[in-house]
């Protein structure tokens, strides 16, 4: 019985928070139609210092992913408009997604991009190999049909939402989180709660 009350209290607090969200403040509506699948998409770049802070210091993507209901998915899409190796990094991120090794390569790719030490796909390949991905896995998949499809998916989504800056979070294809309208005294908590609240709208 106590467990039921606890669950009810959590659901009430989530729904209450969703009702308190104001368009133009915590979020902006970007589409009339929501996606059938509940989803959160973060657009990011390994070259972006704010994305680095979100990921490596404040752990906002991880906290968003952990807070999602079971019927929702979290996706991270890389953008092509920052840094000399951005297109290769979008392709490398597609490969990481395909192989399920995002957690292994994310931090070293961020570190290398932030130091601007990447000069070619060979440098990116070295990072994958250092993290335990085999040369065969990398070489046979980096230009595969599946990776090409994932690259196109990221590029099309960035075009669809007219992404001009990162990090940028979209909920159910309908709402964009507006960081300028969040509480800066408790920014991380407010960010996560805004995302989860928008999932209920």
Residue 44 forms beta bridges with which residues? 78
CATH of 27-200 among 3.40.30.10, 3.40.50.880, 3.30.70.640, 3.90.550.10: 3.40.30.10
**Chain position carrying tokens 């039921």:** 4
pTM as predicted:
0.90
DSSP 23: B
SS3 content of the chain, % helix, strand, coil (to 5): 55, 10, 30
Rg (CA), the chain: 18
Q: Which residues contact 140 (CB under 8 A, 6 or more apart)?
A: none
CA distance 191 to 48: 19
pLDDT at 18: 57
- All residue ranges of the chain with pLDDT < 50 are 2-14, 16
pLDDT at 192: 97
Rounded to 5°, the CA angle 18-19-20 comes to 90
């Amino acid at each position: 019985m106590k467990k039921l009350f606890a669950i009810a209290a959590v659901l009430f607090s989530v729904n209450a928070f969703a009702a308190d969200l104001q368009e133009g403040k915590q979020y902006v509506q970007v589409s009339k139609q929501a996606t059938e699948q509940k989803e959160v998409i973060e657009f990011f770049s390994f070259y972006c210092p704010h994305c680095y802070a979100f990921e490596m210091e404040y752990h906002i993507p991880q906290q968003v992913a952990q807070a999602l209901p079971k019927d929702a998915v979290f996706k991270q899409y890389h953008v092509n408009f920052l840094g000399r190796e951005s297109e290769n990094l979008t392709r490398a991120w597609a490969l990481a997604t395909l192989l399920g090794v995002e957690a292994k390569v994310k931090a070293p790719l961020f570190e290398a991009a932030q130091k601007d030490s990447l000069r070619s796909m060979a440098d990116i390949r070295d990072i994958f190999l250092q993290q335990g991905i085999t040369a065969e896995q990398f070489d046979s998949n980096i230009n595969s049909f599946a990776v090409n499809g994932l690259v196109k998916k990221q590029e099309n989504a960035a075009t669809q939402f007219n992404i001009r800056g990162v990090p940028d979070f979209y909920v159910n294809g309908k709402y964009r989180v507006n960081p300028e309208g969040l509480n800066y005294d408790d920014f991380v908590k407010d960010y996560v709660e805004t995302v989860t609240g928008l999932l209920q709208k």
